Chain A
Amino acid sequence: DAKTTQPPSMDCAEGRAANLPCNHSTISGNEYVYWYRQIHSQGPQYIIHGLKNNETNEMASLIITEDRKSSTLILPHATLRDTAVYYCIVKRSQGNLIFGKGTKLSVKP
């Protein structure tokens, strides 16, 4: 599975959009980009995933570049409850997710 690179930490003002980048330059054609988050020490929470096209759901939007080498997770109106560690994961085959250290997002009032 392809490796991902994320900044270790980011800050965002409450009510503003949070844009979390992820680099996955070695991604191959059949690999999906997944985003999870982990609030404090709770179980990871699924956010969104995509293959080629941009995706949007009730939680977030996922923008994948045309060459698929990077992506951005967008939380449109961040709240204090969005403070968490966000993991970008590239997933191809048999189930398991390979977690890196993620980006610690701090939403500040």
Chain B
Amino acid sequence: NAGVTQTPKFQVLKTGQSMTLQCAQDMNHNSMYWYRQDPGMGLRLIYYSASEGTTDKGEVPNGYNVSRLNKREFSLRLESAAPSQTSVYFCASSEDGARPSYEQYFGPGTRLTVT
């Protein structure tokens, strides 16, 4: 199993450009998440999808949109990138996010710089 995979690994954007970060998991998990991590900080939740067909806002959703394409894939879109969105983005999945006894597994991250 590859676990959680993310593409791309690195990206540089100019202010105002758009892009989509891709995430896929092969563990048949129901719930998926997008976090961002700024330098020296812990992770903050952007959006999550408790199950296929549902998405909900997390702590810092402004400037982002998400799509749960199917059970495996959860994408994060920046419509008009801003320098404040320079960060490392992590995708995670969990067997059942509604139950606190299930752990989350994280991908390797996408390092995004907006100039």
Interface, chain A (partner B; CB < 8 A): 30-32, 34, 41-46, 49, 51, 87, 91-102
Contact = CB atoms under 8 A, between A and B. Distances in A.
Nearest to A31: B100
B109 A41 contact: yes
B109 A100 contact: no
Interface string B80-115: 000000001010101001101101111111010000
Given A94-B97, A95-B97, A95-B98, A41 B42 contact: no
Interface stretch (B13-21, B43-51, B70-78): B43-51
Given A43-B107, A46-B105, A96-B33, A32 B100 contact: yes
29 contacts: A30-B100, A32-B100, A32-B101, A41-B88, A41-B109, A41-B111, A42-B108, A43-B106, A44-B106, A46-B106, A49-B101, A49-B103, A91-B100, A92-B100, A94-B50, A94-B56, A95-B31, A95-B50, A95-B94, A95-B104, A96-B58, A96-B97, A97-B43, A97-B45, A97-B104, A98-B42, A98-B45, A100-B42, A102-B42
Interface of B: 4, 31, 33, 40-45, 48, 50, 56, 58-59, 88, 90, 92, 94, 97-98, 100-101, 103-109, 111
Nearest to B4: A43
A57 to B, nearest CB: 11
A34 B101 CA distance: 9
